[in-house]
Amino acid sequence: MTARERFLCEAIELAYANVAKGGRPFGAVVVRDGEVIATGVNEVVATHDPTAHAELLALRAAGRRLGSANLQGCTVYASGHPCPMCLAAMRLSGVGAVVYAYSNEDAAPYGLSTAAIYADLARPFAEQSMTIGHDPIRLDGRPDLYATWHQRQERQESRGGG
């Protein structure tokens, strides 16, 4: 068995264990340099948190373990096709690869596919099912929010705060 297969099997076993506890059939494993850094299972049912997906919880745990939100060099192994939210989080965190076992096609008969969300997100904002609006409000008398943040970052870096 290859390492890739071993980590995918671990993600699937996590998903089976989660189903046995009444959760949804999703598990994820974050790996760096051949070592499991963190794992997660879907906790949406248990927590009533719509963002408590296996991949997101595994990324959060990996960040805590590594002491950094930068997960470059990591691979995520997931039992199922990651949803757009989880895939975006992986990209934002610097994850270099994701591998999954069950496809959206496998999930569709059970109402677990996210293919429709992917299709909707591929459309222009004006044509998507969710209203998306930009209203460029600024607070009077306050400096630009992003410039304020940038200046603070530069001050921290100049003090060696990284």
**pLDDT exceeds cutoff 90 at 88:** yes
Question: Quick one: pLDDT at residue 162?
Answer: 58
* Cβ neighbours of residue 66 closer than 8 Å, sequence gap 6 or more: 32, 37
| pTM of the complete model beyond 0.85 | yes
What would the pLDDT profile of 35-79 be if each residue is shown by its tens digit?
999 999 999 999 999 999 999 999 999 999 999 999 999 999 999
- The values of phi and psi at residue 126, to 5°, are -65, -20
Question: Quick one: pLDDT at residue 59?
Answer: 98
- The values of phi and psi at residue 27, to 5°, are -140, 155
Question: Quick one: pLDDT at residue 158?
Answer: 87
Question: Of 55, 127, 154, 157, which one is the catalytic site residue?
Answer: 55
Helical residues (DSSP H) of the chain, grouped into ranges: 3-20, 44-47, 54-66, 84-93, 104-107, 115-121, 145-158
Question: Quick one: pLDDT at residue 159?
Answer: 85
- Domains identified in the chain and CATH numbers: 3-127 (3.40.140.10)
Q: What is the rounded CA–CA span in Å between residue 34 and residue 82?
A: 21
**pLDDT exceeds cutoff 70 at 161:** no
Return mean pLDDT, the chain: 96
In the residue annotation, 55 being an active-site residue is answered as: yes
- For residue 46, the one-letter residue type is A
What would the pLDDT profile of 16-34 be if each residue is shown by its tens digit?
999 999 999 999 999 999 9
Q: Is 15 exposed, middle or buried (0-12, 13-18, 19+ CB in 10 A)?
A: buried
- Percent pLDDT > 70 in the chain is 99
What would the pLDDT profile of 121-136 be if each residue is shown by its tens digit?
999 999 999 999 999 9
